[in-house]
Amino acid sequence: MSDKINRRGFIRGAAVAGAAAGALSAPSIARAETTVLKLQSAWGGGIFYENTQNYVKRVNEMAGDALQIEVLPVNSVVKTSQMQDAVHRGVLDAAFYVPAYWYSKSPTASLFGTGPCFGWSSQEVLGWVHYGGGQELFNELMDTLQLNLVSFFFSPMPAQPLGWFKEHITDASQMEGLKYRTVGLAADVLLEMGMSVVQLPGGEIQPAMKSNLIDAAEFNNPTSDKDFGMQDVSKHYHLASFHQSQEFFEVTVNKGKYNALSPELQAILKYAAEAENSNFYWHNTTQYAEDLVSLQNDYGVNVYRTPDSVMKAQLDAWDIVIERLSNEDPFFAKVIESQKAYAESVMNYLNLNQPDYKLAYDHYFGS
């Protein structure tokens, strides 16, 4: 009996002693502070601000306590036109916008999202960025401009509508002399078509058209246009255009802040963009389709497909703009040639392989 008691006591004592020794030998692990990046969006509401939040949500959920991004709405720290410089200087840690918003710094910037249509969509332009040398050319542009930035491109936008007019446009000749709102290289293209172009922020488009400062305008999509109230100043909405037939978002991060992150957190910033790339297309395309129907049924908007004569005139204008800027800037020409080589190869395959989806649509739903 006494042997058993002693043995049990020995086991209990050994267990307690072992636990105490383990507590003494275990290192004290201090929780690292959370890195917080302040990111300003080019939008303060609407579907594009929602897209900003969706990207940030993916980063925050994957990074956990290691990294969190705080979203700041438009104009919180600086104006949209100043966002890139603010990230470069470290006033902002990051920004969420489109390359066309800093087009004034270099026309080549517009080739990363709002350039000429070589028969491709936003999806293929992003393919060029990731697998056709586009990212390397963008990094070269950043070095040339001496900008302290790292950028990711994602979220392929459908082609942007030609937009809202005071009358139904049936021929390219009607575009002559119209005062029209757009941004980026599209401004150069439409100037070649004889239009007078005004570059305005999204929130100023509807008031400008209401007060007759402009005759016509585009922004990006049916949802944003409906939110801006364009249906209250025009009943003539024209879909399809080559002026901005492909575009996507850019998240830009201060290079010093980016380099200070661990490789794992750098990867999260990159791969969250790729995840949001798919979510954007699924989510936004569904919303755009619903709001287009609402514009027609609830607000009496007449929706037309832009006539071929206008789109052919746009392509001719693009030819002039491309030649002029290529002659002025060898780097612009270098990017154009890279894009053409990728588009010619990839679209050759896709054009041969893709069935006529409209044929199938008309078969089931009518023309």
Domain annotation covers residue 114: yes
Largest CA distance in the chain: 111
* pLDDT of amino acid 367: 67
* pLDDT of amino acid 31: 57
Domain annotation covers residue 314: no
Place of tokens 């960025």: 129
Radius of gyration of the chain (CA): 27
CA distances, 32 to each of 29, 37, 243 (Å): 9, 15, 49
Domain annotation covers residue 327: no
149: helix, strand or coil: strand
Q: How far apart are CA 71 and CA 167, in angstroms?
A: 40
Residue 177 tokens, joined? 């002399």
Domain annotation covers residue 196: no
Domain annotation covers residue 99: yes
Q: pTM to 2 decimals?
A: 0.88
Q: How far apart are CA 362 and CA 367, in angstroms?
A: 5
- Helix 134-144 vs helix 122-131: crossing angle, to nearest 10: 70
List the one residue out of 110, 120, 115, 135 whose CA is nearest residue 344.
Answer: 120
* pLDDT of amino acid 344: 98
Domain annotation covers residue 111: yes
Contacts of 5 (CB under 8 A, 6+ apart): none
| Structural domain harbouring 261 | 35-156+246-286
Could you tell me the CATH number of the domain that includes residue 148? 3.40.190.170
Domain annotation covers residue 61: yes
Instruction: Give the count of domains, the chain.
Output: 1
* pLDDT of amino acid 317: 97
Domain annotation covers residue 344: no
Per-residue pLDDT of the chain (367 residues; tens, 9 = 90+): 444 444 444 334 444 344 444 444 444 444 579 999 999 999 999 999 999 999 999 999 999 999 999 999 999 999 999 999 999 999 999 999 999 888 888 999 999 988 999 999 999 999 999 999 999 999 999 999 999 999 999 999 999 999 999 999 999 999 999 999 998 899 999 999 999 998 888 888 999 999 999 999 999 999 999 999 999 999 999 999 999 999 999 999 999 999 999 999 999 999 999 999 999 999 999 999 999 999 999 999 999 999 999 999 999 999 999 999 999 999 999 999 999 999 999 999 999 999 999 999 999 999 6
